[in-house]
């Protein structure tokens, strides 16, 4: 069975002439909500999203699918916010427990079926955007237990589903920066759908507090910090970023990329970015190996190239599940030290207006300990809601 998930309308998809068995089009995607990050599809109604809208049965649809085809507008070498919305709403397809594949932690599959995955990223795209999508699609396939077919880059949506790539487009030359160092106004974007109770909120809060302390110790003025909550598509206005010479994007990794709400903000911000705005990232993730975050940094780097901003690098926190569990422990204690030191390095870069490099941070505990603790937590949450973790509507 072939399922197409696309951000084209039904009429546009029909115009491509591509055959399919099941489809999720722009109409359903627009009528649905973004994932809220509640994990109800694992611990309350395993295999089914708890949000009652047109996407709640996506995990079952993916489970029945042999060929999963994605047609998406190019969003800086990643999937568009709408196609991303669908993938995020489908994670109930996976089991919350872990497996190790290719030396890295991933979720267990609920069955041995191996669907195939193909992706068409339509619209103009640069070489670096194509390389970025290649890495994200590979990571998606690994996580879904799917085999990845050829990824294509048609110049126009009408060629989605075909075997033609459009011409490679060079990103615009970087404009003259109008932004001076050191920073005066720094936006702290919290793009976690879990908002104030998220690991992202904690990491950004820690950074804000430490930044103030370091400025006082150095007898210098701290830059003004502007909180910009962006829990879902449309929640934050690109206007809120105007006048900020530096922007720190805090987010959780969602399906190997920035969450759809953040991609949506980047798409809307693109045309009003002050040339030379410095963009940093502070990302965390559920799996252990922080290297899995790095393709999402490429999306942000491509955004900067397209928008005339400056990509300044960022911190990638592996084992994000530890963040809230250890927040009551000392900042430089054994459990928090690696992350706290990385945040301090990021603060130094932001304060001096310099690059932060790419800084992956491993959790302070061995992988097995992290895995056992996380799995025990999923079991406890399922028990509390009277759910069976191993059940799913299609099993």
Ligand X SMILES: Cc1cc2nc3c(=O)[nH]c(=O)nc-3n(C[C@H](O)[C@H](O)[C@H](O)COP(=O)(O)O)c2cc1C
Please check whether residue 247 is in contact with residue 280, taking contact to mean a CB–CB distance below 8 angstroms.
yes
Question: Minimal distance in Å, beta carbon 114 to ligand X?
Answer: 18
> Which two structure tokens, joined as six digits, stand for 166?
């459009």
Contacts of 277 (CB under 8 A, 6+ apart): 179, 241, 244, 245, 246, 247, 309, 310
> For ligand X, which is the closer residue by CB, 148 or 181?
148
Question: Minimal distance in Å, beta carbon 342 to ligand X?
Answer: 15
Question: Minimal distance in Å, beta carbon 40 to ligand X?
Answer: 10
Please check whether residue 202 is in contact with residue 209, taking contact to mean a CB–CB distance below 8 angstroms.
no
Question: Minimal distance in Å, beta carbon 287 to ligand X?
Answer: 3
> For ligand X, which is the closer residue by CB, 351 or 371?
371
Question: Minimal distance in Å, beta carbon 72 to ligand X?
Answer: 17
Question: Minimal distance in Å, beta carbon 351 to ligand X?
Answer: 24
- Residue 155, number of CB atoms within 10 A of its CB: 17
Q: Which residue has the tokens 């999306």?
A: 299
Burial of 33 (0-12, 13-18, 19+ CB in 10 A): middle
> For ligand X, which is the closer residue by CB, 232 or 351?
232
> For ligand X, which is the closer residue by CB, 290 or 308?
290
Q: Which residue has the tokens 């900020």?
A: 244
Q: Which residue has the tokens 């690098």?
A: 313
> For ligand X, which is the closer residue by CB, 3 or 198?
198
DSSP annotation of 257 reads: B
> For ligand X, which is the closer residue by CB, 199 or 299?
199
Question: Minimal distance in Å, beta carbon 324 to ligand X?
Answer: 7
Task: Determine the distance from the C-alpha atom of residue 329 to the mean position of all C-alpha atoms in its chain, rounded to a whole number.
Answer: 27
Q: Which residues bind ligand X (CB under 6 A)?
A: 35, 37, 88, 91, 143, 192, 194, 198-200, 252-256, 284-287, 292, 320-321
Question: Minimal distance in Å, beta carbon 360 to ligand X?
Answer: 12
- Residue 61, number of CB atoms within 10 A of its CB: 20
Collapse the DSSP code of 125 into the 3-class scheme (helix H, G, I; strand E, B; otherwise coil) and give the result.
Answer: strand
> For ligand X, which is the closer residue by CB, 115 or 320?
320
| Helix (H) / strand (E) containing 143 | helix 127-144
Nearest to 347 by CA among 212, 191, 201: 212
> For ligand X, which is the closer residue by CB, 45 or 198?
198
Our CA angle for 170, 5, 109, nearest 5°, is 105
Collapse the DSSP code of 356 into the 3-class scheme (helix H, G, I; strand E, B; otherwise coil) and give the result.
Answer: coil
């Amino acid at each position: 069975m072939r399922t197409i998930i696309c951000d084209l309308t039904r009429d546009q998809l029909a115009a491509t002439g591509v055959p399919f068995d099941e489809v999720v089009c722009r109409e359903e995607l627009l009528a649905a909500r973004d994932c809220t990050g509640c994990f109800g599809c694992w611990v309350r109604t395993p295999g089914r999203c708890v949000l009652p809208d047109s996407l709640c049965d996506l995990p079952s649809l993916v489970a029945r699918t042999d060929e999963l085809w994605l047609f998406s507008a190019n969003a800086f070498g990643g999937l568009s916010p709408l196609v991303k919305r669908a993938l995020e709403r489908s994670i109930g397809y996976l089991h919350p427990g872990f497996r190790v594949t290719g030396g890295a932690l991933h979720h267990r599959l609920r069955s041995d079926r191996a669907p195939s995955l193909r992706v068409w990223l339509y619209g103009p795209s640069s070489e670096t955007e194509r390389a970025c999508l290649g890495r994200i699609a590979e990571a998606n396939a690994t996580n879904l237990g799917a085999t990845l077919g050829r990824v294509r880059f048609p110049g126009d949506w009408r060629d989605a589903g075909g075997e033609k790539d459009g011409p490679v487009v060079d990103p615009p030359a970087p404009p003259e920066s109008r932004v001076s160092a050191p920073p005066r106004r720094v936006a702290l974007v919290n793009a976690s759908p879990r908002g104030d109770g998220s690991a992202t909120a904690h990491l950004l809060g820690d950074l804000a507090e430490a930044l103030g302390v370091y400025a006082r110790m150095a007898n210098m003025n701290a830059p003004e910090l502007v909180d910009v909550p962006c829990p879902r598509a449309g929640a934050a206005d690109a206007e809120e970023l105007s006048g900020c010479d530096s922007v720190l994007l805090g987010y959780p990794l969602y399906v190997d990329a920035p969450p759809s709400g953040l991609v949506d903000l980047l798409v809307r911000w693109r045309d009003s970015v002050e040339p030379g705005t410095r963009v940093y990232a502070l990302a965390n993730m559920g799996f252990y190996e922080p290297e899995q975050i790095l393709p999402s940094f490429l999306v942000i780097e491509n955004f900067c190239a397209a928008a005339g901003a400056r990509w300044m690098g960022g911190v990638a926190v592996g084992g994000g599940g530890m963040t809230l569990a250890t927040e009551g422990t000392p900042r430089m204690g054994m459990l928090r030290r690696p992350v706290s030191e990385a945040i301090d390095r990021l603060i130094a870069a932001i304060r001096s207006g310099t690059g932060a490099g790419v800084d992956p941070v491993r959790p302070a505990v061995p992988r097995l300990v992290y895995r056992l603790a996380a799995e025990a937590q999923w079991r406890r949450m399922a028990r509390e809601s009277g759910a069976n973790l191993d059940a799913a509507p299609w099993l």
